[in-house]
Amino acid sequence: MLTIAGSGINLYSLNELAGKISFDCFDCIIADINFDNDNNKSLIPANVDFKFAPFKDVRTFIKDNFINGRKILYIVTGSPLFFSATGIIIKYLKDEIPDFDEQTIEILPSESSRDYLLKKLKLLENNVTSLSLHGKNISTLDLNRFLLSKYTFLICDANSLYDVFQYTKYFQDDLVFYIGSKLGSPEEKIEILDLENTINDFSPAEFKDLYHPYVLLIEKKYDDWQQISNNQDFVTNAGMLTKTDKRVLTLQALELKSNLTMWDIGAGSGSVSIDAYKIFKIRSILFEKNKEQCEFIKKNLAKHKVVGAELIEGDALKFYKDTPKPDRIFIGGGGTEVLSGIIEIFSQLNEDGILVANIVVLENLATVVETLKNTDIKYEIKSIDISHYKKISATINLSISEPERTLFQVIMKK
């Protein structure tokens, strides 16, 4: 028999739980190593085996004692029904023990850190999306859920604050960050945090000493804007924008889906990456050599509230090796040098990756064809011609064609 119980909201104390259940009803108790202190040890009866251990040791301890028919109490922080190890433990036991019966597990819920913080801030939970970054790389964050509700609640570890800052750095002024630090303890802090100043003012060690453990609640001060953008929605120089119609066809060719990573080489205004995020919720790494254009990109990323974007000011061929491998690559600029290196760039794609290059100069297209013709890389080339019809004048009720420049689109798939 396994009982999984939450310790409630406190700083790794078993006092609250000891008032709810009798520890002497169990043969053995296991809890996270953070519970290892004299006060907690004094609450456990002498005839009960107990162990404080890191999570990597918890599963085997529970499995071995479960097989031996012992009554086990596993204590988790907060509530076992909220971002705890409960699901992992149950799956592990089902995989490891033949004919495992889930009815032999009892769950004793308690107040979660989210419920506690919302109660303190007097916020309704139906406006909140909850996610966990604890022990996870920020690249695993589900962009389909992050900042989609008015409030996003984050379970954090020591590194999360810095990751969240990097993912939201272009539009910090449009967000409010609430930190819940050392909840349920005498040192509890619930306050609005200036994320940038905090990161600049405190070293990671100083921040950890002041605030850890902590959770974050992020409030959006803007409404979502998820449709394809119009050309006038971007600040840019003339000729540095993939126009709306061609942008739609480019996104279609890239075959995007949520949480992919894309390199945007010769990003120009950033319009392709921006609409790729707004529609598909992807992560983009934008490469742009033009310093003035980089300032425009930053303004566009801020205006469109793009999460998880990283702008690299410089030559993609020089800096790409220091970035995560992409699932998609879009080349919208960069000239002959980038297109001559298209094989090297293509080789960086993850499995099933796609590269799309938009080319308007015929000589640049010839460079790509000459580079690819003696390789085994499969590619296709599309010629895209778009014309708009406008009235000749206010007095003449006739329309004439105004064609855009022909776009050659090279599509390469791994």
Biggest CA pair distance of the chain: 99
Residue 404: the pLDDT is 86
Q: What is the pLDDT of residues 326-358, one digit of tens each?
A: 999 999 977 888 999 999 999 999 999 999 999
In angstroms, the CA 87 to CA 66 distance is 17
Is residue 250 pLDDT above 80, yes or no? yes
Annotation: CATH topology of 114-220: 3.30.950
Q: Domain residue spans in the chain? A: 2-111, 114-220, 231-413
* CA–CA gap between residue 255 and residue 223 (Å, rounded): 27
Q: How far apart are CA 411 and CA 221, in angstroms?
A: 39
- Burial class of residue 147, CB neighbours in 10 A (0-12, 13-18, 19+): buried
- Whether 117 and 180 have beta carbons less than 8 Å apart is answered as yes
> What pLDDT is stored for residue 242 in this prediction?
86
CATH number of 2-111: 3.40.1010.10
Q: How far is the C-alpha of 71 from the C-alpha of 104, rounded, in Å? A: 10
pLDDT at site 227: 81
Of 219, 202, 220, 224, nearest in space to 211 by CA: 202
List, for residues 394-412, the tens digit of each pLDDT value.
Answer: 888 888 888 888 999 999 9
> In angstroms, how far is the first alpha carbon of the chain from the final one?
51
Domains 2-111 and 114-220 share a fold: no
Burial class of residue 348 in the structure, from the number of CB atoms within 10 Å of its CB (0-12 exposed, 13-18 middle, 19+ buried): middle
Strands 328-331 and 261-265: parallel
Could you give the angle at the alpha carbon of 366 between the alpha carbons of 362 and 370, nearest 5°?
A: 175
Which residue type sits at 279? I
* 37: its two tokens: 């202190």
User: Using CA atoms, how far apart are residues 120 and 129, in angstroms rounded to an integer?
Assistant: 17
Residue percentage of the chain with pLDDT more than 70: 99
What is the architecture of the domain spanning 231-413?
3-Layer(aba) Sandwich (3.40)
pLDDT in tens, 129-144: 999 999 999 999 999 9
Distance of alpha carbon 165 from its chain centroid, rounded? 12
Closest by Cα among 250, 298, 210 to 409 = 250
For residue 220, the cross-strand partners are: 175
What average pLDDT does this structure show over 372-377?
Answer: 92
pTM of the predicted structure, to 2 decimals: 0.88
Three-state DSSP at 357 gives strand
In this predicted model, which residue has the larger pLDDT, 307 or 392?
307
pLDDT average, residue stretch 257-272: 96
Percent share of the chain, pLDDT over 90: 85
